[in-house]
Amino acid sequence: MAATAVPKEPKPSPAAKPALAEVIGSPPTIIRPMKIRFTKMQGAGNDFVVLDETQGRLGLTPAHYRLLADRHFGVGADQILTVRRPTADAAAQGIDFEYVIHNADGGEVEQCGNGARCFARYVHDKGLTAKDTIRVQTLAGVIAPRLTPDGRVTVDMGRPVFDAALVPFDATGLTPVAQGLGQKWPLALAGHAQNASILIAVVSMGNPHAVQLVPDVDTAPVAQTGPLIESHPRFPRRVNAGYLQIVDRSHVRLRVFERGAGETLACGTGACAAVAAGIRLGLLDAQVDVQTRGGLLTIAWSGQEADSVFMTGPATSVFEGQIELPDTP
């Protein structure tokens, strides 16, 4: 009887064997925190964390900026300011630095006047420049802060823009109220006092502002209407909401609910926008002292649209430190 060959079971090929990683699992990702140095500064109570990226980028994300601004778990600030060297093309055009601004919510914004003064004080005090006047590139354009002998800083904030479409403000279907050389726009606030309308002057100082006149800033409903104005659908990029009390033609009081930050102790671009609007409406002189909750700012503008607005105010270093940030907060 012929023997029947029993076929051997094939040996499993190496490829058929489960990979070691499949058996024991992939090694865990190790998150190594990074340490960064910072300077805490303030201008009229508007406070900032200033970062130096002149030697290289830190590679921070919006989540990192939010953590730095957090007053409980981070350093605490209204905005994060970053100092960078200009690009080669910008340097060839006389630009000294690039100025990058992030709000407390992590979003990048175009301009910050109080921050510009702190920026100028920082680069001078850190020996990054010996110039008293510097040219700085922002997302909104070029500004020129200048250190003054009394220790304050004057900033050429550029020209105010009143064209609603350029602010930008969607004025479709609205009829403005003319006053002086300017105009005020009705703005309905849904969910507030039966959809009551307020009158606002819209201005861009490189970032959008809605300025309303109030009889007394102390009793103005900033906490109630500020968020409604900031996120109003007629402002596609949101807006900074200013509450302006005119004391006399050369003195005003101001509160600002800032886009992405809430109410702050002072807002430099908000002061510029409020004074420019007041001059345009025929209510203010060419130089005005603006009393904010954080301090005094002096704003000067000729009233001519071709001329820049100049802002003068304090800029102070508070402390320096180092913070450990996770790679992926």
pLDDT at 33: 77
Using 50 as the pLDDT threshold, list the residues of the chain that sit under it.
1-10, 12-31, 194
Domains, the chain, ordered by start: 34-157+316-325 (3.10.310.10), 164-307 (3.10.310.10)
pLDDT at 190: 81
Beta strands in 149-261 (DSSP E): 153-156, 177-179, 182-188, 197-204, 208-213, 240-248, 251-258
Measure CA of the first residue to CA of the last residue in the chain; give whole Å.
77
pLDDT at 16: 43
- Residue 111 CA to residue 275 CA, distance in Å, equals 17
- Residue 281 CA to residue 190 CA, distance in Å, equals 27
pLDDT at 248: 98
pLDDT at 115: 96
Taking the alpha carbons of 255, 256, 257, 260 in that order, is the dihedral positive or negative? negative
The answer to whether residue 118 is catalytic is no
The answer to whether residue 112 is catalytic is yes
Spot the catalytic one: 267, 274, 288, 311. 267
Which residues fall within 8 angstroms of residue 210, CB to CB, at 6 or more apart? 169, 187, 200, 201, 202, 229, 232, 235, 239, 240, 241, 242
Spot the catalytic one: 112, 164, 277, 325. 112
- Inter-residue contact 91 to 98 (CB < 8 Å): no
- Residue 110 CA to residue 253 CA, distance in Å, equals 25
